[in-house]
Structure 1
Amino acid sequence: MLLLRCQLKPAPPQKVPCRLWAVMGKLQSKLRHSTYKYSRPDGIIEERTSTKASQEYSLAHLDPVSVVATLNSDLCVSGGKDKTAVAYNWKTGNVVKRFKGHEREITKIACIPKSSQFFSASRDRTVMMWDLHGSSQPRQQLSGHAMVVTGLAMSPDSSQLCTGSRDNSLLLWDVRTGQCVERASVSRNLVTHLCWVPRESYILQTSEDKTIRLWDSRRLQIAHMFPTKQHIQTHCEVSVDGHRCISCSSGFGGEGCEATLWDLRQTRDRICEYKGHLQTVASCVFLPRSLALLPMIATSAHDSKVKIWNQDTGACLFTLSLDGSGPLTSLAVGDTTSLLCSSFHRGVHLLRVDHSQGLELQEVAAF
């Protein structure tokens, strides 16, 4: 018998993702990874990695989720390609009610503050009003746009709703009567998002023509246009005090893929930019001061990442990678410690901001 000996070179160590699945009825537990880098005063870049278990409930949607919005401290509403709006308790993962009436994908949702009612917009060119405590049929159906409705904004006193569309128009509706009271149209103004400035009569709007417009709702006229950006503006958000706003842009390979902070007061200048995503940034939110120890914003993008930024310096403080989720489409503030994030492949994610060992963003559940 011939004995052959060979010397094997040890293979370099590889990172192997560790996954733990424990089936408990509809509930599963899964390990997730998150990292963040930060600069110390001496200029050294440090990276910290954490592994946390997250709970996976039965998905409320089997198709991509386009949008998620917070209805109150316990409930959120999401909508997407399955043409269904779903209200569920994001603290328990239980579906509360399903709303079906649209003929095509739901694109936007706007909740009426301190109530059980919300509006949904769709690619079927309609907007519907729903009541969590009412019937499964819509209380109102608003029809007036010629193309997909891509913007919804509720006035601070909940008396008016502004809608925007790819038909280049904005419509202002009386919520009580369901009647359109104002209409405005601007050539090439393909609306991507709308939000109302708190305690003001102004509406902020982003567009595919790369501009950000500020509208006066009293006559639905343009009050201000911010400098044109280099990429499509996908989303906008206004701070609670109404002094600042953020917009975010499309892009690919790190080109574009940014969020921009603007001054809404006298100068209306660009204040800061937040760059680090590799694909289109789809959503951006201001983190409440009760949730953050310093002024921060959060962004979600098609690169499956959620980032937290120092609002004043533009430094990225934390990056959470939601692997396997596909493009992330929408962000919403849940409560004093939580964010909600919708995705193409894994429904809606519940994220928690933790300051116990320095800033950290954890995925704690998916619905």
Structure 2
Amino acid sequence: MGKLQSKGRRSASLYRQFGRAHEDTVTAITTVNSDLCLSGGRDKAVVVYDWRAGSVKQRLLGHDRDVTKVACVYGSSRLFSASRDKRALMWNLQDSSRPAQEFVGHDLVVNGLAVSPDGSSLCTGSRDNSVCLWDTETGGCLNKATISRNLVTHLSWIPGSACVVQTSEDKIIRVWDSRGLQVVQTLPPKQYIQVHCDASQDGRYCLTSSNGFGGEGCEATLWDLRQTSKKVCEYRGHLQSTACGLFLPTSTAASPLVATSSHDCSVKIWNRDSAACLVTLCLDGAGPLSSIAACDTTSLLCASFNTGIHLLKLTSCGGLELREAARF
């Protein structure tokens, strides 16, 4: 996967091995509540996993092809998944025997999936150049917008607002107002394809992740959503595509942090404001790292192509450290 940074700390073998969540590559992961995570994979399965106990709680089967994205409102019983089968599905934690709702309307793989903070609306995006807004109660399509060359790669709902931020293969970052499904803001195009986006909890910032190779591209970028063309800083150091980036929850006394995962097998933690890389963990043999999610201020979940899901622990005793605690 290319030569990793010499200062990168490699994962130790002192982790717990739990039962595997998926039989193949894990493509997406998010947290459901303080104990459960939701993941999707190339095995077509959507899995609810108790990451503290190390056990599968539910295996949700309904997609005909690879699952591309998963989403939920934290603490809710409604779970969502998107797939290469051109569909998005809604599941209920209390009844997992079949999907609670099906959202059909895209012509190609669904790569974007974002649910509104109140769980009433779902936004999906596809390689068919379209973005759709759905009523989660009825499954009906409320609106659909198509823009030429807008091959959607990811969607993220901005907390506390009606807006959704979106990345695309045309390298343009768009902000949609879901009420009319209109683009209300665009950020300057990057040199490489933007593959992932995340919005900060206060709704002020957006983080996008870049495709690339050999250290070219491969960065994450922080944007100020209050200023249309304002690029705050870039986080550079990965040697291959940065597949995912997110804002980490922090205590009020701590400096804000950003986490990124890359196809170069590494996870990096950054100071959000200074863009300084604080710690790097290299997960040897994991292959490309596809997705990360924050459980709390000290726990991260990282999905990989080869070795399932990794539970990472972030500690600050005598300096910031990141280590692998479990694998499943």
Deviation at 1:315, TM superposition (A): 1.1
Which residue in 1 is equivalent to 2:235? 274
Q: Does the 8 A contact of 2:101 with 2:136 survive in 1?
A: no
Q: Does the 8 A contact of 1:260 with 1:274 survive in 2?
A: yes
Q: Does the 8 A contact of 1:113 with 1:158 survive in 2?
A: no
Distance (whole Å) between structure 1 residues aligned to residue 11 and residue 218 of structure 2: 26
Q: Does 1:259 align with 2:220?
A: yes
The residue type equivalent to 2:30 in the other structure is A
Match of 1:290 among 251, 260, 278: 251
Q: Does the 8 A contact of 2:155 with 2:197 survive in 1?
A: yes
Q: Could you list the per-position Cα deviations for residues 310-329 of structure 1 after superposition, in whole angstroms to 9, with x for gaps in the alignment?
A: 11111111000000100000
Higher relative contact order (CA 8 A, sep 6+): 2
Which residue in 2 is equivalent to 1:43? none
Identity %: 57
Q: Does 1:106 align with 2:70?
A: no
Q: Could you list the per-position Cα deviations for residues 265-315 of structure 1 after superposition, in whole angstroms to 9, with x for gaps in the alignment?
A: 145400000110010100001011139821110000000000011111111
Q: Does 1:339 align with 2:300?
A: yes
Q: Could you list the per-position Cα deviations for residues 194-227 of structure 1 after superposition, in whole angstroms to 9, with x for gaps in the alignment?
A: 0111111111000001110011111101101110
Deviation at 1:241, TM superposition (A): 0.4
Q: Does 1:360 align with 2:321?
A: yes
Q: Does the 8 A contact of 1:309 with 1:318 survive in 2?
A: yes
Q: Does the 8 A contact of 2:112 with 2:152 survive in 1?
A: yes
The residue type equivalent to 2:169 in the other structure is E
Per the alignment, in what secondary structure is the counterpart of residue 314 of structure 1?
coil
Q: Does 1:54 align with 2:23?
A: no
The residue type equivalent to 2:270 in the other structure is W
Distance 1:136 1:263, change over 3 A: same
Deviation at 1:333, TM superposition (A): 0.6
For residues 116-135 of structure 1, what are the structure 2 equivalents within 5 Å? 116-135=77-96
Structure possessing the higher radius of gyration over alpha carbons? 1
Match of 2:282 among 318, 321, 337: 321
TM-score by length of 2: 0.95
Q: Does the 8 A contact of 1:291 with 1:353 survive in 2?
A: no
Distance (whole Å) between structure 2 residues aligned to residue 241 and residue 267 of structure 1: 17
Distance 1:137 1:346, change over 3 A: same
Q: Does the 8 A contact of 2:111 with 2:126 survive in 1?
A: yes
Distance (whole Å) between structure 2 residues aligned to residue 75 and residue 312 of structure 1: 30
Distance (whole Å) between structure 2 residues aligned to residue 324 and residue 278 of structure 1: 16
Q: Does the 8 A contact of 1:282 with 1:301 survive in 2?
A: yes
Distance (whole Å) between structure 2 residues aligned to residue 244 and residue 60 of structure 1: 33
Q: Does 1:219 align with 2:180?
A: yes
Number of corresponding residues: 325
Distance (whole Å) between structure 2 residues aligned to residue 208 and residue 275 of structure 1: 20
Q: Could you list the per-position Cα deviations for residues 54-104 of structure 1 after superposition, in whole angstroms to 9, with x for gaps in the alignment?
A: 111121112100001101000001111000011110011111010111000
Match of 1:199 among 160, 176, 196: 160
Distance 1:162 1:250, change over 3 A: same
Q: Does the 8 A contact of 1:129 with 1:139 survive in 2?
A: yes
Runs ≥4 in structure 1, deviation > 4 angstroms? 34-37, 47-52
Deviation at 1:52, TM superposition (A): 6.4
Distance (whole Å) between structure 1 residues aligned to residue 150 and residue 276 of structure 2: 32
Once superposed, what is the RMSD of the aligned Cα atoms? Answer: 1.8
Per the alignment, in what secondary structure is the counterpart of residue 53 of structure 1?
coil
Deviation at 1:158, TM superposition (A): 1.4
Distance (whole Å) between structure 2 residues aligned to residue 302 and residue 35 of structure 1: 13
Distance 1:229 1:107, change over 3 A: same
Distance 1:356 1:52, change over 3 A: farther
Q: Could you list the per-position Cα deviations for residues 333-359 of structure 1 after superposition, in whole angstroms to 9, with x for gaps in the alignment?
A: 112310111000111110111011210
Distance 1:365 1:302, change over 3 A: same
Match of 2:273 among 297, 312, 332: 312
Task: Could you tell me which runs of 5 or more consecutive residues in structure 2 were left unpaired when the two chains were aligned.
Answer: none
Q: Does the 8 A contact of 2:10 with 2:281 survive in 1?
A: no
Q: Does the 8 A contact of 1:35 with 1:49 survive in 2?
A: no
Task: Could you tell me which runs of 5 or more consecutive residues in structure 1 were left unpaired when the two chains were aligned.
Answer: 1-33, 38-46
Q: Does the 8 A contact of 2:258 with 2:269 survive in 1?
A: yes
The residue type equivalent to 2:44 in the other structure is K
The residue type equivalent to 1:339 in the other structure is L
For residues 24-173 of structure 1, what are the structure 2 equivalents within 5 Å? 51=12, 53-173=14-134
TM-score by length of 1: 0.85
Distance (whole Å) between structure 2 residues aligned to residue 291 and residue 59 of structure 1: 36
Q: Does the 8 A contact of 1:342 with 1:349 survive in 2?
A: yes
